[in-house]
Structure 1
Amino acid sequence: MKIGKTVALIGLFVGLSYQILSAQVLTPAQARTDLSYLKRKLDLLHPGMGYYTPQPRMEQLYDSLYNRLTAPYDYMAFFHHVSPLVAALKDGHTNLNHRKNYIGKSTRFIPFYIRLVDSQYYISHNVSADSSLQRGTELLSINGKPVADVHRELMNTDHSGSDGDNLTGRRQWSMVQFADYYAAWFGSADSVTITYRLTGDTLIRQTRVRCLSLASFRSTIQRRYGTELDHRPNLSVRIVDTLTRTAVLRVSSFMGFKKNDPFQWAYNRRLKRAFKTLREQNIQNLIVDMQGNGGGIVVNSARLLRYWMPKPFRIMDHEEMKQAARAELVTRWNPFSALNFSLQYRTDKSGGFASRSGNRRYRPRHRDAFRGNIYFMQNGASFSATTTVLAKTLDAGMGTFVGEASGSAYWGDFAGHFKTVTLPNSRLQVRIPLKKLTHAVNTERANGFTVEPDFIVTRSFDDLMVNRDYILEYTLRLIREGVVVRPGPEKQPIRNRSLQASR
Structure 2
Amino acid sequence: MNITTRLVAFLFLCFIADLTPAFAQTDTLTPEQARADIAFLKRKLDLLHPGMGYYTPRPRMEQLYDSLYNRLTAPTPYLAFYHTVSPLVAAVKDGHTNMSHRRNFIGKQTRYIPFFIRAVGDQYYISHNVSPDTSLHRGFELLTINGRPVGELHRELMEADRSGSDGDNLTGRRQWSLVQFADYYAAWYGSADSIAITYHAKGDSATRQAKIGCISLQRFRGMMQRRYPNEIDRRPNLSVRIVDSLTRTAVLRVSSFMNTGKRGPFQWAFNRRLKRAFRQLRDQDVQNLVIDMQGNGGGVVTNSANLLRYWMPKPFTMMEREEMTPAARTELVTRWNPISALHFSWQYKRNQSGGFASRSVRWRYRPRRHLAFRGNLYFLMNGASFSATTTVLAKTLDAGMGTYIGEASGSAYWGDFAGHFKTVTLPNSRIQVRIPLKKLIHAVTPDRANGFTVEPDFTVTRSYEDLLTNRDYVLDYTLRLIREGVVARQPIRTRPLQASR
Q: Shorter-chain TM-score: what band?
A: over 0.9
Letter paired with 2:95 = G
- The CA deviation string for residues 67-89 of structure 1, in whole angstroms up to 9 with x for no partner, is 11111100000000000000000
Distance 1:203 1:98 in 2: 39
TM (normalized to structure 2)?
A: 0.93
Runs of 4+ with >3 A deviation: 20-23, 259-262
* Deviation (angstroms), 1:215: 0.3
Distance 2:413 2:182 in 1: 30
1:319 — aligned with what?
322
1:329 aligns with 2:332: yes
Match of 2:138, SS state, is: coil
Selected match of 2:249 from 234, 246, 250: 246
* Deviation (angstroms), 1:21: 7.8
* Deviation (angstroms), 1:100: 1.2
* Deviation (angstroms), 1:261: 4.1
Match of 1:433, SS state, is: strand
1:477 aligns with 2:452: no
- Is the 2:25–2:430 Cα contact (8 Å) retained in structure 1? no
Match of 1:341, SS state, is: helix
* Closer, same or farther: CA 111–146 of 1 in aligned 2, 3 Å: same
1:423 aligns with 2:426: yes
* Closer, same or farther: CA 195–23 of 1 in aligned 2, 3 Å: farther
Distance 1:415 1:23 in 2: 33
Distance 1:360 1:262 in 2: 20
2:342 — aligned with what?
339
Aligned length: 472
Distance 1:174 1:83 in 2: 15
- Is the 2:99–2:432 Cα contact (8 Å) retained in structure 1? yes
Letter paired with 1:266 = A
* Deviation (angstroms), 1:336: 1.3
1:275 aligns with 2:260: no
Selected match of 1:360 from 358, 363, 378: 363
- Is the 2:25–2:429 Cα contact (8 Å) retained in structure 1? no
Match of 1:361, SS state, is: coil
Distance 1:129 1:21 in 2: 37
Letter paired with 1:38 = L
- Is the 1:318–1:437 Cα contact (8 Å) retained in structure 2? yes
- Is the 1:22–1:75 Cα contact (8 Å) retained in structure 2? no
* Closer, same or farther: CA 305–475 of 1 in aligned 2, 3 Å: same
Selected match of 2:153 from 150, 156, 178: 150
Letter paired with 1:297 = V
1:141 aligns with 2:141: no
* Deviation (angstroms), 1:490: 2.3
Q: Which runs of 5+ in 2 are unaligned?
A: 1-22, 495-501
- Is the 2:382–2:407 Cα contact (8 Å) retained in structure 1? yes
* Deviation (angstroms), 1:258: 2.8
Alignment of 1:449-460 (within 5 A): 449-460=452-463
Alignment of 1:117-132 (within 5 A): 117-132=120-135
1:194 — aligned with what?
197
Cα RMSD after superposing both structures: 1.1
Alignment of 1:151-190 (within 5 A): 151-190=154-193
Distance 1:122 1:390 in 2: 31
Match of 1:313, SS state, is: coil
* Deviation (angstroms), 1:149: 0.2
- Is the 2:112–2:192 Cα contact (8 Å) retained in structure 1? yes
- Is the 2:309–2:367 Cα contact (8 Å) retained in structure 1? yes
Q: Which runs of 5+ in 1 are unaligned?
A: 1-19, 492-503
- The CA deviation string for residues 170-198 of structure 1, in whole angstroms up to 9 with x for no partner, is 00000000000000001000000000010
Alignment of 1:27-46 (within 5 A): 27-46=30-49
1:64 — aligned with what?
67
* Deviation (angstroms), 1:102: 1.1
* Closer, same or farther: CA 68–447 of 1 in aligned 2, 3 Å: same
1:4 — aligned with what?
none
TM (normalized to structure 1)?
A: 0.93
* Closer, same or farther: CA 94–261 of 1 in aligned 2, 3 Å: farther
* Deviation (angstroms), 1:489: 3.1
Distance 1:222 1:89 in 2: 38
1:405 aligns with 2:408: yes
Letter paired with 1:98 = H
Selected match of 1:293 from 277, 288, 296: 296
* Closer, same or farther: CA 237–451 of 1 in aligned 2, 3 Å: same
Distance 1:21 1:349 in 2: 43
Distance 2:103 2:395 in 1: 38
- The CA deviation string for residues 304-339 of structure 1, in whole angstroms up to 9 with x for no partner, is 000000000000000000010011111122221111
* Closer, same or farther: CA 135–21 of 1 in aligned 2, 3 Å: farther
Match of 1:83, SS state, is: helix
1:381 aligns with 2:384: yes
* Deviation (angstroms), 1:259: 3.7
Letter paired with 1:186 = Y
2:4 — aligned with what?
none
Match of 2:380, SS state, is: strand
Distance 1:456 1:356 in 2: 39
Distance 1:375 1:411 in 2: 21
Letter paired with 1:462 = E
2:451 — aligned with what?
448
Distance 1:132 1:89 in 2: 43
Percent identity of paired positions between Structure 1 and Structure 2: 74
Selected match of 1:116 from 112, 116, 119: 119
1:89 aligns with 2:96: no
Selected match of 2:268 from 265, 268, 274: 265
* Deviation (angstroms), 1:260: 6.0
- The CA deviation string for residues 407-458 of structure 1, in whole angstroms up to 9 with x for no partner, is 0000000000000000000000000000000000000000000000000000
2:10 — aligned with what?
none
Letter paired with 1:418 = F
- The CA deviation string for residues 128-155 of structure 1, in whole angstroms up to 9 with x for no partner, is 0111100001000000000000000000
1:15 — aligned with what?
none
* Deviation (angstroms), 1:23: 6.0
Distance 1:286 1:27 in 2: 58
- Is the 1:396–1:488 Cα contact (8 Å) retained in structure 2? no
Distance 1:433 1:259 in 2: 24
Distance 2:491 2:45 in 1: 42
